[in-house]
Structures are given as structure tokens and as C-alpha cells.
Amino acid sequence: MHAAPQPIVPRPRKVDFAFAEAGIPRHWFGGSPVATHVFNGVNLLFPLGERFFVRSVYAFIHEIEQDPALLARVRGFAGQEGRHAHAHEEYFEILEGQGYSVKPFLKVYEKVAYEWLEKVTSKKLRLAGTAALEHYTAIMAENALTERYLDHAHPTLRALMLWHAAEEIEHKSVAFDVLQRIDPSWSLRMAGLAFATATLGSFWIAGTAMLLLQDRAKGVDLRAADAKFAAVPRGEGIGRKVFLRGIRAYLRRDFHPDDMDNHALAAQYLQGAGLA
Ligand SMILES: [Fe+2]
Ligand SMILES: [Fe+2]
């Protein structure tokens, strides 16, 4: 097992995005319905997902109490995820205000993922799943900070996602290090990867499709509306740049999240945004 040279203790930052006053258009990502809803789709998963991550890690809190450094990182991670969840939930009100109905989807997602799946899986698998989902979010975060595709997004959503991205990088190895402490077996880590890939992939597709179908029902010609905006990422790019890349890295027996050296990228963004 690797250890980060100097693991960061994540620090939660409070940011007020004032969504209601921001004048966010329905298709806020380069005017593209597909790109907008790919991002809205994953946004819908964050609040309940992030609270699940925190529950999954805190289920082992008594086993890491003797390690104050790891405990401090766990507390910082939980604080950051709590604030992310809250900020993304505030944005749901904007979606509803734009005429999208997202609450029925959130209800089904909650029932399937947290009232059923969370109850029938083991504590260890939930922790391993969380470590793998944090690995995927760290890759998405790195992509967002390096590829600059969010330059095409409405500034408020860009600020939301880049703040979230930078903090995801700060705490990317916390759940992983707790997993290594509890059970470092490769097979458990792989089971977590399978769990993460299946759940993130299917709910993300479902959320995106649900929003696109609502647009189509309102008469938006999705093909015509989307054809002009080639610069923003679509599903195919995410399959390759998030899932395939993530799986390939995670399969390595000696993988550690801090092997992907992107902390400077996060620090640079936070500095530039006045959040350091
Ligand atoms: Fe988060
Ligand atoms: Fe996270």
C-alpha cells in the first residue's frame, strides 16, 4: 500500500452560489440540451450519493479512532461532502423552476439505491463502492479542471462544478485509505469497482434520459438543438475518459489515488477562485 507523501486534511469551504439570482438558462451548457442534461443528470445523483459516502465511511469510525491523522481527514471529507450535497440540492430548485420535474426521479433513485441496495449490501462492500465512486469523481474532477470544457457553461454552474471538483481532489484518497485500513484485499476493491460502475453508470444514464425526454415532450428538437455545439462533452467521451480510464487505473494491484498527481491542479483553482 502506498501512502500519500503528506496527505491533505480536507477543509470544507462554504460558498454561496445564489442560484436564484443567477439567471441560469435551461440549456446552460453551451446551449446544448445533451451536454446540459449529462451534467444535470450526474448533479441529481450527488446529494444522496454523497451522504451515502459519508455513512459508508462513518460505519467504520470506531476502527480508525486510534489514528488521529486519518480521523481528521475523514471529518474533513464528511464536511466537504455535506456542503456539496447542500449546494447541489439548492440547484434542484432551479431545475424545478425551469419546468423540469426531478422529484419523482429522486424518489425512485432513493428507493432503489438507498432503501434497497444499501440495505442488502455488506458494510465492507459499501465502503469499497464508496472508495471506487470517489475514484471516479476524482477523475471527473481532473478532467473538468484540465480540459476547460466548463468554459462553455453558465458561470454559476461552472463555479459550482469547479469548486466541487477541487474539493473532490483534496479528499480523493480518504475513503480509499479507510478501506485499506479495514480490508486491503484486491478482490473487495474490485467488487467495489463493479458496484460503483454499475450504479453510477445506470443512474446517470437514467437521470440524463429522464431530463432529455422532458425536453422532447416540450417540443425541443434535440438533434437540431445539439448539432451546433461540438465542443462540450457527451456520453461517449465520458465512457472513455471517466469509466474506461478509471477502470484501467483501478485494476492495478498497487493503485493508490494519490498516484494521480493532481493536487496542484486543485490548489491552483482554489487559489485563483479566492477559496484557498
Ligand atoms: Fe462531493
Ligand atoms: Fe467525494
In DSSP notation, 177-199 reads HHHHHH---HHHHHHHHHHHHHH
Do 204 and 42 form a contact (C-beta atoms < 8 A)?
Answer: yes
**5 falls in which pLDDT band (50, 70, 90)?**
low
φ, ψ dihedrals at 54, nearest 5°: -65, -45
Q: Which of 5-9, 12-16, 155-159 has the lowest mean pLDDT?
A: 5-9
Do 36 and 234 form a contact (C-beta atoms < 8 A)?
Answer: no
| Rounded CA separation 267/276 (Å) | 7
The answer to whether residue 10 sits within a structural domain is no
Q: Please list all protein residues whose beta carbon sits less than 5 angstroms from ligand 2, which is an ion.
A: 134, 168
| Rounded CA separation 202/90 (Å) | 24
**39 falls in which pLDDT band (50, 70, 90)?**
very high
Domain that holds residue 107: 27-272
Q: Which ligand is nearest to the CA of 88?
A: 1
Distance in Å, CA 94 to ligand 1 centroid? 19
**Mean pLDDT over each residue of the chain, to the nearest integer:** 93
Distance in Å, CA 100 to ligand 2 centroid? 26
Distance in Å, CA 18 to ligand 2 centroid? 22
**235 falls in which pLDDT band (50, 70, 90)?**
low
**276 falls in which pLDDT band (50, 70, 90)?**
confident
| Count of the separate structural domains present in the chain | 1
SS3 call for 29:
strand
DSSP 260: S
**1 falls in which pLDDT band (50, 70, 90)?**
very low
- Read off the pLDDT of residues 112-167 as tens digits, 9 standing for 90 and up: 999 999 999 999 999 999 999 999 999 999 999 998 889 999 999 999 999 999 99
The answer to whether residue 76 sits within a structural domain is yes
| pLDDT greater than 90 at residue 222 | no
Closest CA to 207 of 42, 33, 26: 42
Q: Which ligand is nearest to the CA of 130?
A: 2
The answer to whether residue 22 sits within a structural domain is no
Q: What average pLDDT does this structure show over 241-269? A: 94
What is the model's pLDDT at position 148?
Answer: 86
Distance in Å, CA 33 to ligand 1 centroid? 24
Distance in Å, CA 148 to ligand 1 centroid? 19
Distance in Å, CA 184 to ligand 1 centroid? 24
Distance in Å, CA 136 to ligand 1 centroid? 11
Region at 30 (left for phi over 0; alpha for psi -120 to 50; beta for the rest): left
Q: Which of 121-130, 158-167, 180-189, 224-233 has the lowest mean pLDDT?
A: 224-233
The answer to whether residue 125 sits within a structural domain is yes
Distance in Å, CA 168 to ligand 2 centroid? 5
The answer to whether residue 105 sits within a structural domain is yes
What is the model's pLDDT at position 24?
Answer: 97
The answer to whether residue 19 sits within a structural domain is no
| pLDDT greater than 80 at residue 234 | no
Distance in Å, CA 53 to ligand 1 centroid? 9
Distance in Å, CA 141 to ligand 2 centroid? 10
Q: What average pLDDT does this structure show over 34-45? A: 94
Distance in Å, CA 171 to ligand 2 centroid? 6
Closest CA to 137 of 257, 259, 2: 257
Q: Which ligand is nearest to the CA of 56?
A: 2
Q: What average pLDDT does this structure show over 23-49? A: 94
The answer to whether residue 182 sits within a structural domain is yes
Taking the model in full, what pTM does it have?
0.93
Q: Which ligand is nearest to the CA of 164?
A: 1
| pLDDT greater than 50 at residue 3 | no
The answer to whether residue 13 sits within a structural domain is no
**233 falls in which pLDDT band (50, 70, 90)?**
low
Distance in Å, CA 171 to ligand 1 centroid? 9
Higher pLDDT, residue 185 or 226: 185
Distance in Å, CA 105 to ligand 1 centroid? 20
